Chain A
């Protein structure tokens, strides 16, 4: 427990009047990150529960670890595959690590830095909200993204997406997705096309993602096999390729009760419904289950759509919200000639509509009960 002692020893410096008081938010953040703080609410009613924000956030981080590990390996695998080099497992993984670590450094230094500055100015405490966002952002960008672009996107997402609305828990759209949307619209040549999804790709090698292939008019027969897409040995954003890793994460999130099963399932149902409709009327020949396997659909459905802050809150609302995300994602993929991936835009759009969905669900319930009550009144009057 050397660390505990060390923290206790330097603590007085950061308290009010101490000489390092100006860094107290940073100190608070680090202390709560390493240890459960012993602070309790001083007044008002509150619930005692082991599940707090810290635990929730850490569960999500644990659920993301399979995606992170596979993604790291896949960066190396795709790189050496494009150069037709035979290398050992550790070389592959090491190459991936060298690509991923800078992304994480940038994501956390910039994001946490801004959070701490805001917390300091507003005299609030830094909380764990950014740990998940910061972990997600590198997983949804191509491995070769220039670091300054990533830094800019993180800054934009944290300031415009989160802090202007009042910080963690008050944001309207998912900050990680906002960072990606910022990159996507700001630097399209670094975020789309066939040449960016494999790290330092050999020039002659085709690096198209399955969605890219379809966008360029390729048929279903030109896609990688379903097994490859399921395991994840395909080019793509860092964390989105392996459906196995995502499903392990999903299982963990569902077992711990962090993510909503309603949202996840209805997202899949929504995609299936519109996918089936499109194949039935002959608009597209992509079977609906291919939409699950291509691009960021599963990653979005499991980790992004279920974000409790930006999703709908009512049970009925969650089903509508998830269904519309799935349907909208497939609609954009099939009907839009400009953007290959619709999941990001679908989730952001529904994030904005989630409060409205909730409002409608609640209002409908109220009017239903009013009618029931009026009927009962009538009956008793007779």
Chain B
């Protein structure tokens, strides 16, 4: 049980897919200007990684090694289409904001990375937990980045005005750089910078 728990907790920090394995950076830059799309994106990826890990792990003994990438892609693509349809049906505005990036989960390196590195060699339940853990690790970084970008770039959180009007009257101005993708890269860099020395100590 303890080992299973670690499958979920380790990717949050120690083997975080974004800050340690440097996977999925591209979408982390694209969808983190606002908190809401980042949350939805994080959850979508979690669902896709967990379920595709589960399915591939169930099939792992029957997949010929030569065509395994194609099989993995078909499973992932099917799941992504499902997620995309669900988003379109229930939260249309966010799905509009995410635009192509939901479809691009197929190419998210975290998904393929976990399938290749974990699901192909482990039992279904462990693979499922590993998928949940990695998806949440990805979502965590996305949420941290989006929190700072939305707070300082737009003065809002989840669309609600957080920075009071009085501050704007006083001369405060939203930071335009926060809205631009480079700032997401810098924030991810800072997170890595803060995270690294602690790991070196261990």
Contacts and interface: CB of A to CB of B under 8 A. Distances in A.
Contact of A187 (B173, B186, B189): B173
B177 A189 contact: no
A189 B177 CA distance: 12
B62 interface: no
Given A160-B186, A164-B193, A146 B171 contact: yes
Size class of the contact patch on chain A: 10 to 19
B56 interface: no
Which of the four size classes fits the interface of chain B?
A: 10 to 19
B4 interface: no
Contacts of A187: 173, 175-176
Interface in A351-367: none
B186 A186 contact: no
A185 to B, nearest CB: 4
B163 to A, nearest CB: 14
A337 interface: no
A152 B176 CA distance: 13
B38 interface: no
A185 B186 contact: no
A186 B180 CA distance: 9
B184 interface: no
Contact of B176 (A146, A148, A160, A186): A186
A319 B171 CA distance: 44
Contact of B177 (A146, A148, A185): A185
A228 to B, nearest CB: 32
Nearest to A147: B171
B177 A186 contact: yes
Contacts of B111: none
B178 interface: yes
Contacts of B180: 185
A182 B193 CA distance: 20
Interface in A183-234: 185-190
A189 B172 CA distance: 12
B19 to A, nearest CB: 15
Contacts of B186: 160
B161 to A, nearest CB: 20
Nearest to B176: A186
Interface in B169-202: 171, 173, 175-178, 180, 186, 189-190, 193
B193 A185 contact: no
A186 B178 contact: yes
Contacts of A182: 177
Nearest to B172: A148
Contacts of A189: 173
Nearest to A164: B193
Contacts of A164: 189, 193
B173 A185 contact: no
A149 interface: yes
Contacts of B175: 152, 186-187
Contacts of B176: 185-188
24 contacts: A146-B171, A146-B173, A148-B171, A149-B173, A152-B175, A160-B186, A160-B189, A160-B190, A164-B189, A164-B193, A182-B177, A185-B176, A185-B177, A185-B180, A186-B175, A186-B176, A186-B177, A186-B178, A187-B173, A187-B175, A187-B176, A188-B176, A189-B173, A190-B173
Interface of B: 171, 173, 175-178, 180, 186, 189-190, 193
